[in-house]
A and B are shown apart, each in its own frame.
Chain A
């Protein structure tokens, strides 16, 4: 029988059916690979378009236009610089539609985005982490079963609703009366209300992802600590938190990256007046808010205002990219230590 087996492996191992099986497996693999490629290619395409058009913001033609012109004319075509990179990076004014003296100092928009992101982080990180600890360590199985999905619903509320909530409730009902007690006044649009709503908006993200990370800590570790006479709080802070820190940090970074890219809520809440300020009561314009308002205006394709959208978009893209890279780094860095 063993000699038979070497010469004739028997039915099913070779033949038409087996070949068809192999073909099907290859096909499935290609389809799946294709779907994965779409996301990667889209990312690359977006990046290329942003770069190309950002070139068209600094010069009088986009990089591709210039390239096509140079190739067709077989000479290196000259370029006129419209905006100096130093102005873009260091000017303190952002007034693209000023008739006599338009200025494009991205700092103004970046500072508004950063200000709101930092303020939002002060809301979402402590509250989100505490909520995650409660759900993971303190809540009963039953409570968690109902509470966690409810919390995640908060993440599904459309962001424009948060913007509306900021303008119609947070500013007039919550902030204004309190600030008036201190003799401060606050306009309809302000940084503070944007911080509050973006913070609330990102709590579920911090809470949900952190809770997943905390739940992934093996019960063996908890039991080890409980058996040594640790209280629930001590188990939470000295065992669960350090062991899940990489996932917790990841949730923070994701929340920050979400806050950076947040658009509708901040447009409604913080306003459309570019201001370089650290005053949380002022009206500002974030990068995203600038893009929304400008897209709705009638700036012609190729105009400097139109091209500025891509320059701002590129900066935004890079900021979230850096956040994601930090996220990856933290995940890799801490996984080794705690697993």
Chain B
């Protein structure tokens, strides 16, 4: 498709939030400094340096195997679960390197929640799913906490009367919103999302997209997506990884999609690459 010089490659919805954003100075909540991640011999991330702003939606896009999920997992140290994984460089959360020896990854993950690609509710009741994060922190969960989290995940009206039925009885889209409710129930500061809509049908996916915009009022959202339209629609900032685990460009979503500085990024966005 031919595009004129000043026409956006993909239209963005960023303008509606533009005023709100400029009113608030960007505070960096997460910062990567020369972050390298290796899986055994393979280098999955290469010298990634980036500052992710607070209470914004930051999208991570790029072709398969470019390291976008690896970057996400390195933020809450879920990479620790992978034996062969090795991390070098710094990843700062509010100025503190999360890879410092005195950082407890368990405590870190209580501040940085995550939603996965495939909905993965526990085989427990809806209520127990939502309260799990609070309970492992030794906090008691009230009915108000459950309702607040489920409302926050736009699921309350659908499950109000059946909190004690199994989370597995919900539809795929509802399960994913349950997972979002579960992630926000302990009131984290950051919510990481790894392709949260890719296993869902379009209607369910669009509900999650609407929800993400809502979440950004309270939380910092970092979302990996392979759907560029989705990144354009819901994010404020966009990171583009290309093959080899390199962060090629990181800018306002509008800039990335309308006027990217890097030719490879433009090729990727217009579908010539990847």
Contacts and interface: CB of A to CB of B under 8 A. Distances in A.
- The judgment on whether A and B are partners is yes
Given A224-B120, A224-B179, A229 B83 contact: no
Contact of A221 (B81, B110, B120, B166): B120
The 5 A-B pairs at the shortest CB distance, nearest first, are namely A229-B110, A227-B114, A228-B133, A220-B120, A229-B109
Interface stretch (A128-136, A158-166, A183-191, A234-242): A234-242
A230 B78 contact: no
Given A220-B116, A223-B78, A230 B123 contact: no
B123 A228 contact: no
Interface in B122-151: 122-124, 132-133, 135-137
Nearest to A228: B133
A227 B122 CA distance: 13
A243 interface: yes
Contact of B136 (A218, A230, A243): A230
A222 B120 CA distance: 9
Contacts of A230: 106, 132, 136
Nearest to A235: B136
21 contacts: A141-B83, A220-B116, A221-B122, A223-B116, A223-B120, A224-B182, A225-B122, A226-B81, A227-B78, A228-B109, A228-B132, A228-B133, A228-B136, A229-B106, A229-B107, A229-B109, A230-B136, A231-B106, A231-B136, A238-B132, A337-B166
A231 B122 CA distance: 16
B133 A338 contact: no
A228 B186 contact: yes
A223 B136 contact: no
> Which interface residue of B78, B113, B121, B133 has the most chain A CB atoms within 10 A?
B133
B74 to A, nearest CB: 13
A134 to B, nearest CB: 16
Interface of A: 140-141, 218, 220-231, 234, 238-239, 242-243, 337-339
Interface size class, chain B = 20 to 34
Contacts of B114: 223, 227
B183 interface: yes
A228 B113 contact: yes
Contacts of B81: 222-223, 226
Contact of A228 (B124, B183, B192): B183
Contact of A226 (B109, B122, B182, B192): B109
Nearest to A220: B120
Given A228-B109, A228-B133, 6 more contacts: A224-B120, A227-B192, A228-B132, A229-B110, A230-B106, A242-B124
A221 B123 CA distance: 9
Nearest to A232: B106
A338 B120 contact: no
Contact of A238 (B121, B136, B182): B136
Contact of B123 (A141, A223, A234, A338): A338
Of the listed residues A222, A226, A238, A338, the one surrounded by the most CB atoms of chain B closer than 10 A to its CB is: A226
B3 to A, nearest CB: 39
Given A140-B83, A220-B118, A221-B122, A227 B132 contact: no
Nearest to A231: B106
A227 B76 contact: yes
